[in-house]
Amino acid sequence: MAINYERLKARKFPDVEQRYTKRDTMLYALGIGLGQDPMNEAQLEFVYEERLKALPTMSVVLGSPGFWLKQPDTGVDWVKVLHGEQGLVNHKPLPAEATVVGKTHIKEIIDKGKDKGALILQERNVYDQSTGELLATLTSTTFGRGDGGFGGPSGPTPQPHAIPERRPDAVCDLSTLPMAALIYRLSGDYNPLHADPKVAKAAGFKQPILHGLCTFGVAGHAILKTCCGYRPERMQSMQLRFSAPVYPGETIRTEMWNDGNVVSFRSKVVERDIVVLNNGKVQLAG
């Protein structure tokens, strides 16, 4: 079954209401890796209920419709899909606890051609249920490796943010825990690829891999630490491309270039010297 462009683009998603508590906020931060140093008081504010703050990247786990691409009526070969890009815009700092409503729609489906796949561009707006305020806008691009040639538009395709050619202005190494994926999955993504060795090996990996959005959060932590002084209100937006998977326990090195209120970045795994996140851009508040 191939993608039906008009039907998939018009797909209706039910609103997703989600109540998250301080416990959920702390669990997300622990999954990203904060709190490894028990004496780091700046990180403690994200993992301890006194004066608790939410990490700005936590919006990616709020109000999600789940892995809807697996539904047969989408026409998508879900086994071959990859998470290609992720972006977020925080319209205001996330509360430490709240009830939110996520509203998802498909922005576009780009046909790269038979044997070249398709790009599915989604957008999700997350609202505070009690006030109606828009908290965050999340964008993502899914690469359907087996879905090209359905007759949809061939462009325009999103252009990646260019990384400066000079040496980075700052570098931050953050280690991940061997059990990082098992902790992070408790924030809502229960894909067995991140937990079950048999599933991971069947997918071609030597062991369960870290969630892409967990790696996204680790890079966000590096920028929050290095460029924002652990002040979530300074990180207004973040976008990147996923390049390669990370294995739990590896060290993620984030290289940063500062140009005014724009931080360009990419992240590498130190142990394998491989780029795992690329074309990153963060917009800081003035």
Mean pLDDT value of segment 131-152: 95
**Annotated catalytic residue, options 84, 102, 212, 220:** 212
Which residue among the candidates 102, 117, 148, 194 is catalytic per the annotation?
194
Euclidean distance between the first and final Cα of the chain, in Å?
Answer: 49
Is 161 in the active site? no
Residue 31 is a catalytic residue: no
If 0-12 CB within 10 Å is exposed, 13-18 middle and 19+ buried, where does residue 179 land? exposed
Predicted local distance difference test score (pLDDT) of residue 1: 72
pLDDT at 286: 80
Phi-psi region of 279 (alpha: psi -120 to 50; beta: other; left: phi over 0): left
Question: Which one from 209, 220, 221, 223 is the annotated catalytic residue?
Answer: 209
**Max CA pair span of the chain:** 57
> Does 194 participate in catalysis according to the annotation?
yes
Task: List all residues 6 or more positions away from 224 whose beta carbon is below 8 Å from its beta carbon.
Answer: 55, 56, 230, 231, 232, 234, 235
User: How many whole angstroms separate alpha carbon 243 and alpha carbon 267?
Assistant: 9
Q: What is the mean pLDDT of the chain?
A: 96
- Catalytic annotation, pick one of 75, 189, 217, 221: 189
Tokens (6 digits) for 187: 């924030």
- The 10s digit of each residue's pLDDT in 215-266 is 999 999 999 999 999 999 999 999 999 999 999 999 999 999 999 999 999 9
In angstroms, the CA 266 to CA 242 distance is 10
Give the pLDDT confidence of 182-229 residue by residue, as tens digits.
999 999 999 999 999 999 999 889 999 999 999 999 999 999 999 999
Answer yes or no: 189 catalytic.
yes
The model carries a pTM of 0.95
Domains of the chain, CATH where assigned: 5-144 (3.10.129.10), 170-284 (3.10.129.10)
